[in-house]
Structure 1
Amino acid sequence: MTTTPSLEFFVGISEDLSNVSLRRSKETGIRNVLLIFDKLKSLEKFKSFTEQTYGDLRLIDSEGEISVTPSSLRIIWGGDEGDDLKRVECGFEIHEDDHWERFMRFMNRYAEANGMGYQDTKE
């Protein structure tokens, strides 16, 4: 059975990832991930008040589930009244090489399933 890769803040509500930024600290080697969502289905439908939440972001694919505790979560509002959701930024760190490799396998599957591409930007 093939599992379509998905990301969930709330159980059963798959979110659509808009962009990803991956960086590695030259000093510490710690990898930083920033996932960007232009909208959250769970927020739009107010399901967050009625559905179970884990408090973590769940990344689900054919290998299983990765549970990530965000180190930062920013909700950016805009529009004339300041109540239009512009985007949500979810950041976390990955310290272990095997965790990084597993995350990258998930991202490759997610990108392929959702028509996303990878662009390496050298600083």
Structure 2
Amino acid sequence: MNRGVARATRASRAVTRAGTTSIQFVKGQNETSVPEVKLTRSKDGSNGTAFFIFAEPDVFENGQGDITGMFLNDEEGEMSTVDVNAKFINGKPSGIEARYVMKTERDWDRFMRFMARYAEDNGLGFAKK
């Protein structure tokens, strides 16, 4: 994997517009906590991985249901992963880390279209590191 890392960072406190992009851990329940996203990609561009870090996600509030995966929804449809781990501090849930693997260049392009829409909807910026 290429060691280059890209991060999506919060540029402003924009509110997500209804009916556009969403990230869900429980089907039908949009997560409003905006994650830090780190991307890696192979040198030949044939595959890549997105690492999502959610600090204080709402899925832990109000008993929304069991986390069944991470679902990325937009106008093109849904992408999903079950590689999702809750983080705990003193026995209480404090965050979620998820990994979405892209196995082809087509998967990468699809994911980047989702992220562009998600970034626009949530006032995110992009920083190469």
The runs of 5 or more residues in structure 2 that have no matched partner are 1-17
- How many residues in Structure 1 have an aligned counterpart in Structure 2? 111
Aligned pair partner of 2:108 in 85, 100, 105 = 100
The runs of 5 or more residues in structure 1 that have no matched partner are none
What is the SS of the residue equivalent to 1:105? helix
Aligned pair partner of 2:128 in 114, 117, 120 = 120
Instruction: State the distance in 1 between where 2:74 and 2:35 align.
Output: 18
CA gap of 1:47–1:3, structure 2 versus 1, over 3 A, is: closer
User: Which residue of structure 1 aligns with residue 119 of structure 2?
Assistant: 111
Larger radius of gyration: 1
User: Which residue of structure 1 aligns with residue 4 of structure 2?
Assistant: none
Task: Look up the equivalent residue of 2:103 and give its one-letter code.
Answer: H
2:59 is the counterpart of 1:42: yes
Is the Cα contact below 8 Å between 1:57 and 1:69 reproduced in 2? Answer: yes
Instruction: State the distance in 2 between where 1:86 and 1:27 align.
Output: 36
1:85-115 Cα offsets, whole Å, 9 max, x none, are 3321101210111111111111011111111
* Identical aligned residues as a percent: 29
Alpha-carbon shift at residue 28 of structure 1 (Å)? 8.7
CA gap of 1:118–1:69, structure 2 versus 1, over 3 A, is: same
TM-score, scaled to structure 2: 0.73
Alpha-carbon shift at residue 26 of structure 1 (Å)? 4.2
TM-score, scaled to structure 1: 0.76
Structure possessing the higher relative contact order (Cα contacts under 8 Å, 6 or more residues apart): 2
Alpha-carbon shift at residue 10 of structure 1 (Å)? 0.9
